[in-house]
Structure 1
Amino acid sequence: MDCIRMKEMEFYGYHGVFPEETKLGQRFRMNVTLQLSLQKAGKLDDLQYSVNYGDVYNLCKEVVEGTPVKLVETLAERTTAVIFQQFTHVQAVTVEVIKPDPPIPGHYKEVSVEVTRERTAYE
């Protein structure tokens, strides 16, 4: 299966378990991998057989900058669901949601959740 990868998309949202997260908000980064056949798009040089990256970015932005939720797991699941709804020829999706600045003590670069889903789970 071929892949389209979008890396390090960055958004601002009000998600989290702690009150300060939902009040102040924070940055979220997202990596998305779409699995689909790109053979026909490549042979015909036609976007209708691929996926418009701008549309994927806008869907991710709507989820992350939209209705607040407690868990990044929820953001990942919602993103996966809207991608499958919007792009019918995508067969599998991997979404990684990254919190670079979670309000927990310690020294680390970031925390993240990654989910991989196949279209058959949404049919």
Structure 2
Amino acid sequence: MDCIHVTEIRCYGYIGYLPEEQVLGQWFEVDVSLWLDLSVAGKSDAIEDTLDYRTTIDTVKQLVKSSKFALVETLACAIASSILEAEKVTQVRVRVTKPSAPIPDFGGKICIDITRSKQQ
């Protein structure tokens, strides 16, 4: 199966377990991998035969900006569910990164990585 990777979708959101995360917000980075058949698009050179990934980027940004989840895991699942609504996508991998998690004495990143498939 073919795959489209869209990486480093950066947006500001209000997702987090701590109350200040839901008030002050923070930056998130999202990477998605979309599995679908690209053979027709490879021959036709027509955008209607593939997935217009601008729609995927808009979907991710809208979900991050408007969601009020306590867990990044819930955000990742919501993004995956929304992307799987696209007719051509059969599987999606979503990686949500919290680059500046508010954890004392921790300078790393927190990443949630999920893969979901359409139910056949």
Fold match (TM-score > 0.5): yes
Whether 2:54 is the aligned partner of 1:83: answer no
Q: Which amino acid aligns with 1:97?
A: V
Structure 1 vs Structure 2 CA RMSD: 1.1
Aligned to 2:108: 109
| Other-structure match for 1:20 | 20
Whole-angstrom CA distance in 2 between matches of 1:108 and 1:36:
36
Q: How far did residue 107 of structure 1 move?
A: 3.3
Letter in 1 for 2:80: T
Distance in 1 between residues matched to 2:114 and 2:107, nearest whole Å: 21
Aligned residues: 120
Tell me by how many angstroms 1:67 deviates.
Answer: 2.4
Contact 2:93 2:114 survives alignment (8 Å) = yes
- Deviation (angstroms), 1:32: 0.2
Q: TM-score, normalised by structure 1?
A: 0.93
Unaligned runs of 5+ in 1: none
Partner of 1:92: 91
TM-score for the superposition, normalised by structure 2: 0.95
* Partner SS state of residue 65, structure 1: helix
Alignment of 1:1-123 (within 5 A): 1-85=1-85, 87-120=86-119
Identical columns (%): 38
